[in-house]
Each structure stands twice: as C-alpha cells, then as structure tokens.
Structure 1
Amino acid sequence: MKPYVICHMVSSLDGGLHPSRWTGSPDGKLGDWSALYQSCHERLEGDAWMVGRVTMAELSKGSPHPPHEHGKMERPFHFANRKAANFAIAVDTSGKLHFTGNEIDGDHIVVLLGSDVADSHLAELAGDGISYIVSAQAQPDLSVMLETLERELGIKRLLLEGGAGINGSFLAAGLVDEISLIIAPVLDGRAASQSIVEYGEAGLAGKVQLSLKSCEPLAHGAIYLRYAVAPS
C-alpha cells in the first residue's frame, strides 16, 4: 500500500510559483498567500509533506559535515524516529542536501536517495538524527519509496508540495490521488515562468485526467480548487 498523495500548491493566475515575483493585489499582500497556503495545508491533515531537492535546499540551510570516520552504513533504510507526529520528506537523488538539525518546524526529516549515494553522506544524515531511504536504483523508484514510507512509518496521507519537476514525476507515475491548488489574484508575467507541474518535452498528455471535487473562494480574492486524479 502507498499513502494517499495530495499535490498541494499555490500559484499566480499564470502559473508562477514564487510570490516574491508576483504583482501586488488590492485584496492581499505577500504574506497572505503563504498564510492561505498553510491554512489549507493544515485542513488536508497529512501525516507528512514532501518536496524536491531544490525546494528543500531553501529550508535545510546546512553545509557538508561528514564524519571523519564511519563504518558501512545501513541500507536500504535507517529510521532515527519512527514515532514522529509528522514527517518532512525530501527527494534528494544524489545526496546534495545538508541539514542543521533533524526537524523542520517540528516535523522529523526523512531523505529519499538514489543507490549511488556515498556512505559518508549517509553517515552525516544518521549523525544528525535524520532518517533516510536508499533506492535500489540510481533514480529512485518512487512507488517503492512510497510503499516503504507507509509500511515502515505508518504514513497514510502525504502532501506533495513541489517543485514542478517532482510534481510532474509523481503525476506521470500515477502516484498522485488529488490536486489541491490555491490560485492567488496576481500575475507573474515572466516568459519563462515555472508552472506547478513540469514533465519534460513529453508532458502529461494521455497520462492523467482530473475531475473537480470542489471550488471554494478564500480570503483576499483567492480561489481554492481540488481535483481528483485518475489515469487517463
């Protein structure tokens, strides 16, 4: 079994993901979009939230600090805390993330890694009290990783929260059950504006179909959309 996966995002009307680059709104300001996002995040009642490497790098703030000595590290997984109330999960295929602690906002950190990750990096994570799962392949099998999270940590409901690349990979693999999207009444306007989902040149045509579950007006002129996701 895998967790029920909800892709939860906030964007401008034209799909921009970075509020600092958005136009202003007479109905709200920069901090309002973050507050609305967090409010809906809490309403979704996830056991865990997951982001990709680039997004987690903005939160982790660490620098490399591998131990001088270490033995052979545990694979395929090491769990420093199986009983956490909530989990913060990062997909970091190559082992480039470094942390200053084992929690983010009180949520225990779990890192999902590819098979090529060095034991020195695993030793760094374990020394920091961080949990990890190492894939059998260089590119992690996301389905197997989700099943491991459910089986080993009891995660039943997971919020997938970007960036666009990891959202696209999960959708293409048929691993997303629902999309939760807040649209703020603002514009980004850049020609290269990143969307909430990206899946290379092939895109997602023919892979998924969406069915509207609900449409709700929020404060400050925002709209909250929820869609069920099914294979196409």
Structure 2
Amino acid sequence: GGYADGYAPDKLPEGEPLPREDWVSEEGRATGNFIVSVDPMGRLAFSTAILEKKGRAPAYVIEALTGKASDGYLRYLRERGISYVFAGEDRLDCGLLARKLLVRFGIRRLMVAGGGVADWSFLREGLLDELSLVLTPIADGSTTAVSIFENADFLPPHPPVALRLLEVKQLEGDVLWLRYQPK
C-alpha cells in the first residue's frame, strides 16, 4: 500500500487564516530520514508524522504543497507535527521544492517515485539525473495501465527528453534492470 491514510476529513480544524509560509517541525527535521509527499492541493491524510514500514527505517513526512492548500489542512498538518513547504502557487515548482528541501531539511538527494505526472515534472525541469527502470516480462494490455512519464493537462507542453543508456543487468526471472541518464 501507499504511505498516506486516504484523504483528509471533510471537516478540518477551523481558526484564523494562516500565512502561506513553510512550517517546519524541529523534531521532525532531526530524524534525518524523510518521505516527501507531493500533495499540491493538500488532500492526503496522515495519522502520524513518522511512517514506519516493515524492513525500512522510520521516515518523517514532509508535505509539498501549493498555495491552493486550505488553512484547515495546514492546521491539520500542524496538529500532527507534519512539516510542509510551499512550492508554487497554482502548480508544483519542482526546482523550488528541491531548493527548499535542501535549505530546510538538508536533503541533497531524492528518489522520485510519485507516478507518471510527478516523474515527468521532475524530468522536464532537469531535476532527474538518473532513471532506474526494472522491466518484468508481464503483458497487461490495459488502456489504463500506469506509465512512467505522463504529461498532465495542467502542465505546459514540453518536448520529449532523450535518455542515454548507462547499464543493463539481467536479473532472476528474466527481469531487466535498465539505468538511463538524460542527455
């Protein structure tokens, strides 16, 4: 499963308007291991600020938001001790997000695993230095299958990005591991 607990409740905490400024939990920052949730509208639910999955080190949640996130959602995150950063007004600016993650949390390296739109957003902004792709010999045929890179309607057009093959490894079960670098 995913890392979020579904969607935030319809009834969010009320109060005075909050400034559209980053909010950082010092306790969370001190953990040193993070999962950045790309959630431009501020809709995901979390029961806790620290995610624990079997076989993985505990990770502190950081929400990447746009100015479209509601005040109620910001209060919801603060109540749980979840830090958030604003990276754009209407749509996520991946470059701004990367800079803020470095400055606020010391994050120098990211693994982008957010689906086709997130992957394409980071690639098109020149923020991916490597694509690690594992091919399994299974055919689906579905017209709704997930794609690695996907341009969303809200993103401006962008030309294709050429990739250069770095390495191919054949793994157990006829699986291939391909590593590429943007040209």
Larger helix fraction of residues = 1
Counterpart for residue 220 of structure 1: 173
Does the 8 A contact of 2:41 with 2:69 survive in 1?
A: yes
Does the 8 A contact of 2:20 with 2:67 survive in 1?
A: no
Distance 1:119 1:191, change over 3 A: closer
Distance 1:170 1:136, change over 3 A: closer
Does the 8 A contact of 2:64 with 2:87 survive in 1?
A: yes
Counterpart for residue 151 of structure 1: 103
TM-score normalized by the length of structure 1:
0.67
Provide the rounded CA distance (Å) in 1 between the counterparts of 2:91 and 2:97.
11
- Which gives a bigger RCO, structure 1 or 2 (Cα 8 Å, sep 6+)? 1
| Pairwise CA distance, 1:74 | 5.3
Provide the rounded CA distance (Å) in 1 between the counterparts of 2:142 and 2:134.
20
Provide the rounded CA distance (Å) in 1 between the counterparts of 2:171 and 2:20.
45
Which of 7, 14, 18 does residue 73 from structure 1 map onto? 18
3-state SS of the aligned residue for 1:59?
coil
Provide the rounded CA distance (Å) in 2 between the counterparts of 1:196 and 1:110.
23
Which of 48, 68, 72 does residue 116 from structure 1 map onto? 68
Distance 1:183 1:141, change over 3 A: same
Off by >6 Å, runs of 4+ in structure 1:
none
Please give the residue correspondences for 1:97-136 in structure 2 after superposition, counting only pairs within 5 Å: 97-105=44-52, 106-136=58-88
Instruction: Give the number of aligned pairs.
Output: 172
Counterpart for residue 5 of structure 2: 61
| Pairwise CA distance, 1:72 | 4.2
Counterpart for residue 116 of structure 2: 164
| Pairwise CA distance, 1:108 | 0.6
Provide the rounded CA distance (Å) in 2 between the counterparts of 1:219 and 1:155.
33
Which of 41, 58, 64 does residue 94 from structure 1 map onto? 41
Distance 1:179 1:204, change over 3 A: farther
Provide the rounded CA distance (Å) in 1 between the counterparts of 2:62 and 2:80.
11
Counterpart for residue 137 of structure 2: 185
Counterpart for residue 197 of structure 1: 149
Q: Give the unaligned 5+ runs of structure 2.
A: 53-57
Does the 8 A contact of 2:133 with 2:178 survive in 1?
A: yes
Larger strand fraction of residues = 1
Provide the rounded CA distance (Å) in 1 between the counterparts of 2:146 and 2:133.
15
Kindly, what percent of the aligned residue pairs are identical? 30
Post-superposition CA distance 1:64-109 (Å, at most 9, x none): 2633x44443542111211223111111111111111112231110
| Pairwise CA distance, 1:154 | 0.6
| Pairwise CA distance, 1:225 | 0.8
Does the 8 A contact of 1:76 with 1:136 survive in 2?
A: no
Q: Give the unaligned 5+ runs of structure 1.
A: 1-54
Provide the rounded CA distance (Å) in 2 between the counterparts of 1:119 and 1:184.
43
3-state SS of the aligned residue for 1:60?
coil
| Pairwise CA distance, 1:181 | 0.7
Does the 8 A contact of 1:215 with 1:225 survive in 2?
A: yes
Provide the rounded CA distance (Å) in 2 between the counterparts of 1:218 and 1:77.
43
TM-score normalized by the length of structure 2:
0.83
Does the 8 A contact of 1:87 with 1:109 survive in 2?
A: yes
